[in-house]
Amino acid sequence: MSDAEGDDVAASATIPSSTGHMDLNTAIQEVLKTSLIHDGLARGLHECTKALDKRQAHLCVLANNCDEQNYVRLIEALCAEHGINLIKVESNKKLGEWVGLCKLDKEGKARKVVGCSCVVVKDYGKESQALDVLNEYFKTRK
């Protein structure tokens, strides 16, 4: 029984260190999820360009595998013009899953994922460690 208790302590000791060193994709995922819960996301080209033009955006996430180059140029130009942080992710299907454009089955796995090439965060919802990780990333990038 003491062996099991020791394993539990070791496992709980590694949890804070893993959350303390959160990677960028996990941080993006958590920020998008929190923002989705607080109704602070704009998804798709039309909604994103409106939010970027009105300067309501705090963060823009763009997929690398977007087919339309004019789409990418427009979003990049709007972000640069208004000084909005832009971050790129590898897949539009992953981005679509992260922002809730999918159906969930009984096990909680994503099914019928709709690709989303651009997402704008208009409201972070609440302060979190993931948001701090993103802010640190943008500070070191500048």
Pair of tokens at residue 129? 């460690």
pLDDT tens column, 114-131: 777 889 988 888 888 888
Over the chain, what is the mean pLDDT? 77
Q: How far apart are CA 63 and CA 5, in angstroms?
A: 44
As a whole number, mean pLDDT of residues 122-142 equals 83
pLDDT tens column, 86-99: 898 888 888 887 77
Asked whether the beta carbons of 99 and 41 are under 8 A apart, the reply is: yes
DSSP string, 43-92: ESHHHHHHHHHTT--SEEEEETT-S-HHHHHHHHHHHHHHT-EEEEES-H
pLDDT at position 21, please? 67
pLDDT at position 12, please? 28
Residue 104: band (very low, low, confident or very high) from pLDDT cuts 50, 70, 90: confident
pLDDT at position 8, please? 36
pLDDT tens column, 36-61: 888 888 888 888 899 888 888 888 99
As a whole number, mean pLDDT of residues 94-118 equals 77
Pair of tokens at residue 22? 């959160």
